[in-house]
């Protein structure tokens, strides 16, 4: 039987860890907690300047604890021509790469693991993969298996109610813009989430995102 896993990028991992919603999210998406995977570099990155500038130490400590509970991806990055093709995509206005190495690696895993999904908070990478003409075959291969942060939040709200999720996400409010905006008025979070989801779906095109 084909292995069914949920890969989680660093941003979503930190959010689910800090809110203690890792197991709940896995269950809602139909995965056992043993079927979740993270990047093996994440424990080291949590001590880096980028994460420490973005998140308070309490949030990072929660993510570090969860790193001990969630298995890392065993495959080594950098062994796929598809990764190189994704990393090569740049913004025509400034030449900056639009898909970082970690996201490209996890997208490439989906290409030869058709039963696996990716939970990602990197909209820039999603839009680049979904719209770059040279990546169309890759886009089509992973379409329907990309779970964006807003879809995760929508599922959590449907399962637990907006107030409970707002409380769970409170440690992240000061440091995550999307969460801050969506839950500034918890009882109206459905409208904010729908707006974000509709805009992202418009940019990536139909069928690319997993839509709850």
pLDDT digits (tens, 9 = 90+) for 104-144: 999 999 998 999 999 999 999 999 999 999 999 999 999 99
The SS3 assignment for 148 reads: strand
Average pLDDT of the chain is 95
Q: Convert the pLDDT of each residue in 26-77 to its tens digit.
A: 999 999 999 999 999 999 999 999 999 999 999 999 999 999 999 999 887 7
Residue 43 lies in a domain: yes
pLDDT (0 to 100) of residue 3 = 85
Residue 125 lies in a domain: yes
Give me the CATH number covering residue 19: 3.40.50
**Backbone phi and psi for residue 75, each to the nearest 5 degrees, phi listed first:** -65, 150
Residue 79 has pLDDT above 80, yes or no: no
Domain of residue 21: give its range.
6-149
pLDDT (0 to 100) of residue 75 = 83
Please state the pTM of the whole predicted model: 0.95
Residue 189 lies in a domain: no
Residue 95 lies in a domain: yes
Q: Convert the pLDDT of each residue in 63-75 to its tens digit.
A: 999 999 999 998 8
The SS3 assignment for 90 reads: strand
What is the percent of the chain with per-residue pLDDT over 70, rounded to a whole number?
99
Residue 78 has pLDDT above 70, yes or no: no
Average pLDDT of the residues in 66-94: 91
Residue 120 lies in a domain: yes
Helix boundaries (H) for the chain: 10-18, 22-28, 42-45, 49-54, 57-67, 81-87, 101-111, 123-131, 136-142, 149-160, 162-168, 177-182, 189-204
Residue 181 lies in a domain: no
pLDDT (0 to 100) of residue 191 = 94
Residue 176 has pLDDT above 70, yes or no: yes
Residue 2 has pLDDT above 90, yes or no: no
Average pLDDT of the residues in 181-206: 94
pLDDT (0 to 100) of residue 77 = 75
Average pLDDT of the residues in 137-166: 97
Count how many domains the chain has: 1
pLDDT (0 to 100) of residue 1 = 65
Distance CA(168)–CA(152), nearest Å, equals 14
């Amino acid at each position: 039987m084909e292995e069914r896993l949920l890969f989680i990028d660093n941003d979503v991992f930190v959010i689910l860890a800090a809110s203690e919603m890792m197991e709940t999210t896995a269950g809602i998406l139909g995965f056992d907690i043993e079927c979740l995977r993270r990047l093996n570099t994440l424990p080291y990155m949590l001590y880096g300047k980028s994460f420490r500038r973005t998140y308070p130490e309490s949030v990072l400590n929660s993510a570090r604890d969860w790193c001990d509970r969630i298995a890392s991806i065993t495959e080594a990055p950098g062994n796929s021509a598809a990764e190189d093709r994704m990393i090569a995509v740049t913004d025509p206005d400034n030449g900056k790469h639009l898909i970082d190495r970690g996201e490209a690696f996890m997208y490439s895993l989906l290409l030869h693991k058709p039963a696996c999904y990716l939970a990602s908070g990197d909209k820039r990478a999603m839009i680049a993969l979904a719209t770059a003409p040279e990546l169309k075959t890759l886009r089509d291969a992973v379409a329907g298996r990309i779970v964006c942060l807003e879809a995760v939040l929508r599922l959590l709200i449907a399962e637990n109610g907006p107030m409970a999720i707002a409380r769970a996400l409170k440690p992240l409010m000061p440091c995550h813009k999307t969460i801050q905006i969506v839950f500034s008025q918890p009882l109206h979070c459905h409208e904010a989430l729908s707006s974000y989801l509709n805009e992202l779906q418009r940019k990536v095109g139909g069928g690319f995102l997993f839509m709850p």
